[in-house]
Amino acid sequence: MRNTRKRSIPVLMLTLAFFAGLIYFTLNLVTHASEWASMPYNGHLSDSSGLEYAGKIKDRNGVVLAYSKKGKRLYNEDEELRRACLHVVGDDSVNISTAVQTMYRSKLSGYDFVFGLGVPDRLKKGGDITLTIDSEVQRAALRALGDYRGAVVVYNYKTREILCLASTPTYDPMNKPEDIETNEAYEGAYLNRAISATYAPGSTFKLITAEAALEKDSEAYKREYDCSGSTEIGGKAINCYEVSGHIDMFGALRESCNAYFAELTVDLGKDRMTDQAQKCGFGKRWKFDGIETARSVYDVSQANDNEFAWSGVGQYTVLECPMNMAIRTSAIANGGVSVTPKLISKMDSSLADGMTPDDNSSPERMMSSQTAEKMKEMMDDTVANYYGKSYLSDELDVCAKTGTAEISDDGTAHAWVTGFTTDEDCPLVFAVLVERGNSGYKVAIPVASAVLSAAARSYRS
Ligand SMILES: [Zn+2]
C-alpha cells in the first residue's frame, strides 16, 4: 500500500503537468491562432491563397485599393496608385510585414477558429477595411520622392488619422518585378521605411536638445553664444555649416548651429539628454492598429565628450524611425502630449473581433505645455525667417525643422524635414526622409511641400 502511494505521487505530478501544459497550449491557441495562421513562415500563405474571397481595402474616400474577384486578388486599375499604396495595402505575398493585407490577412480572408484557414467557401465571411489614407496624397508623395529612396508620414494631430504613409522604392503588386531580389534599384523594397527603418536624424534632433534645455530652465531660449563656425569639445572639432556670429536659441535653431547645440548638450549632461530622448520615444516601439514601429536609438553610455556632443545634433550613433519623428513633433503641436496615429478608419464587425485598445500606444507627455509653446515659436521663426513660409506652403501655415545627417566622410547625407501646420481645418504633423538627399532644405522640404499641398486639397475640396 505504502509503495503504491509512493509510486502514484510521480504519476499524479505527471498528470497535473500534462493538464497544465494542455491548458497553456489551448489558451495560446485561442488567443494567438489567427496570428500564427497568417505568419510569414506559414508557407502555404506565400501565394495569394487565403485572399481569393477576402474583403475590400478602401481609402478614406472609398477608392478601392484591393479586392477579390472570381478567386483572384486584384488591385486598383491605376498602376501609379497601386505603387503609391503598396506598403500600406500589401501584395499577394506576406513580404511587406506591416501592410494591412499582411497584418489582417486572417481577418480579411475569414479565418475561423474551428476550420482555421480551411473555412468552407460558403461559410467565409471576409469583411472590408477602410483606411484613413488618401490615395491621392500617397500619389503626390510617390511623385515627389521620384527616384529617391525615402519615406513620408503625414497625419492629423487632432483626429489621429494618417493621410499619407509612403515608402520608396516600391513596385506594382500586379506585376511584381522578376529581378526584385537582385536589382539594386529594389533594395529594401519590402520595407515600409516610414515604420520599419531607422536613420541618423541629424539636426532634427536639435529639437530634442532644445526641449531638454527648456524643461530644465524655461528661460534657456535666451542662452547666447558667439558662433565662429566651429568649436572644440573633447579635443576634437565640432563644425557648423556656416558662421552664425552672435545668436540665442532662436538663431541657433534657425541657422542650425552645431556648435551652439553641441555646447548645450555637454552642459545638460547625459542623464538629461537621455531622459528627454526617451520621453520622445527613443528606446521604444510605438504600436498602432497592431502595427509596430522600429525602435529608435539614443545610447550615449559609452560616448566620450566629443561623441556625446555630436549626439545632441543627431549624429554619433543616434538612429530614428520616421514615424517616431512625426510622433515626437506631434507633441510640440499638441501642447506637449504626443498623438499616436491610426491607419484603420472602419472595419466590418466580423473583422474587429478581438481588437483591444491595447493595440494602440497611449498618448504621452513628452514636455510641458510651456516648452511645447516655445518650441512652436522657434519652429515658426525658423520657417518665417529662414526657409521662407511660401517655400513650404502657399496654402498652409507650416512650422518646421530640417536635418541633413551625414552618413559618410564624403559628405553623403540623409535629408529630413519634420513639422506641423497650425491651420484649424487642416492640423497636420509630418516627417519626410530622403535617403542620400544631401540637403534637408533643398530636397526634403520640396517633398513635404508637395505632399502638404495634396493633403490640403484632400481636406478642403
Ligand atoms: Zn554655428
- Tell me: the pLDDT tens digits for 75-100? 999 999 999 999 999 999 889 999 99
State the distance from the centre of ligand 1 to the C-alpha of 268, rounded, in angstroms: 18
CA of 374 to the centre of ligand 1 (A): 21
pTM to 2 decimals? Answer: 0.88
CA of 197 to the centre of ligand 1 (A): 30
pLDDT at 346: 87
**CA torsion through residues 323, 199, 445, 325, sign:** positive
Closest among 112, 125, 162, 102 to 360, alpha carbons compared: 162
Residue 260: closest CA among 187, 323, 209 = 209
pLDDT for residue 202 is more than 50? yes
Cα(203) to ligand 1 centroid in Å equals 12
Structure confidence at residue 46 (pLDDT): 42
Q: How far is the CA of 202 from the centre of ligand 1 (A)?
A: 15
Task: Determine the distance separating the centroid of ligand 1 and the alpha carbon of 240, expressed in angstroms.
Answer: 5
- Ligand 1 centroid to residue 239 C-alpha, Å: 7
Q: Of 199, 188, 265, which Cα lies nearest the Cα of 231?
A: 265
Average pLDDT, the chain: 90
Residue 244 Cα to ligand 1 midpoint, Å, equals: 5
Confidence at residue 105, expressed as pLDDT on a 0 to 100 scale: 80
pLDDT of 153 reads 98
d(CA 411, CA 404): 10
d(CA 368, CA 379): 17
Strand 64-69 and strand 398-406: pairing? unpaired
Instruction: Give distance in angstroms: CA of 150 to centre of ligand 1.
Output: 28
Q: Phi first, then psi: what are they for 282, rounded to 5°?
A: -70, 135
Domains detected in the chain: 194-343+354-460 (3.40.710.10)
> Ligand 1 centre from 258 Cα, in Å?
5
pLDDT for the residue numbered 411: 84
Reduced to 3 states (helix: H, G, I; strand: E, B; else coil), residue 1 is: coil
Q: What is the mean pLDDT of residues 377-396?
A: 98
Quote the ligand 1 centre to 411 CA distance (angstroms). 18
Instruction: Please state, for a pLDDT cut of 90, what percent of the chain lies above it.
Output: 75
* C-alpha of residue 319 to centroid of ligand 1, in Å: 23
Split at pLDDT 50, 70, 90, the class of 121 is low
- Cα atoms in the Cβ-side hemisphere of radius 13 Å centred on 16: 6
**pLDDT (tens digit per residue) in 328-358:** 999 999 999 999 999 999 887 666 655 554 5
What's the gap in Å between 260 CA and the centre of ligand 1?
Answer: 6
Q: What pairing do the DSSP bridges indicate for beta strands 72-75 and 129-131?
A: unpaired
Please report the pLDDT score of residue 357 as a whole number. 46
Measured in Å, residue 246 CA sits from the centre of ligand 1 at: 9
Which pLDDT tens digit goes with each residue over 233-273?
Answer: 999 999 999 999 999 999 999 999 999 999 999 999 999 99
Q: How far is the CA of 165 from the centre of ligand 1 (A)?
A: 34
Quote the Cα angle for 433-436-437, to 5°: 65
Q: Is the pLDDT of residue 33 over 80?
A: no
pLDDT one-digit tens code per residue, 287-319: 999 899 999 999 999 999 999 999 999 999 999
pLDDT value for 40: 45
Q: How far is the CA of 7 from the centre of ligand 1 (A)?
A: 81
pLDDT single digits (tens) 127-175: 889 999 999 999 999 999 999 999 999 999 999 999 999 999 999 999 9
Q: Is 161 exposed, middle or buried (0-12, 13-18, 19+ CB in 10 A)?
A: buried
Q: Which of 37-46, 115-124, 205-214, 223-232 has the lowest mean pLDDT?
A: 37-46
Whether 116 has a pLDDT exceeding 50, the answer reads yes
**Residue 146 CA, ligand 1 centroid: distance in Å:** 33
256 CA to middle of ligand 1, Å?
7
In this prediction, what percent of the chain has a pLDDT beyond 70? 86
User: What pLDDT is attached to residue 65?
Assistant: 98
How many A from CA of 237 to the centre of ligand 1? 12
State in Å: Cα 269 to ligand 1 middle.
Answer: 20
Measured in residues, the chain has a length of 461
- Ligand 1: distance of its center to the CA of 199 in Å? 23
Cα 225 to ligand 1 centre (Å): 9
Q: At 104, is the pLDDT very low, low, confident or very high (cuts 50, 70, 90)? A: confident
Expressed in angstroms and rounded, the spacing between residue 309 Cα and the centre of ligand 1 is 13
For residue 9, give every residue at least 6 positions away whose Cβ sits within 8 Å of its Cβ, in sequence order, or none: none
pLDDT in tens, 4-17: 666 677 777 777 77
C-alpha 270 – ligand 1 centre gap (Å): 22
Compute the distance from residue 231 Cα to the ligand 1 centre, in Å: 8
State the distance from the centre of ligand 1 to the C-alpha of 252, rounded, in angstroms: 7
Stretch among 112-126, 132-146, 277-291, 355-369 having the lowest mean pLDDT: 112-126
Query: What is the distance in A from the centroid of ligand 1 to the CA of 65?
Result: 48
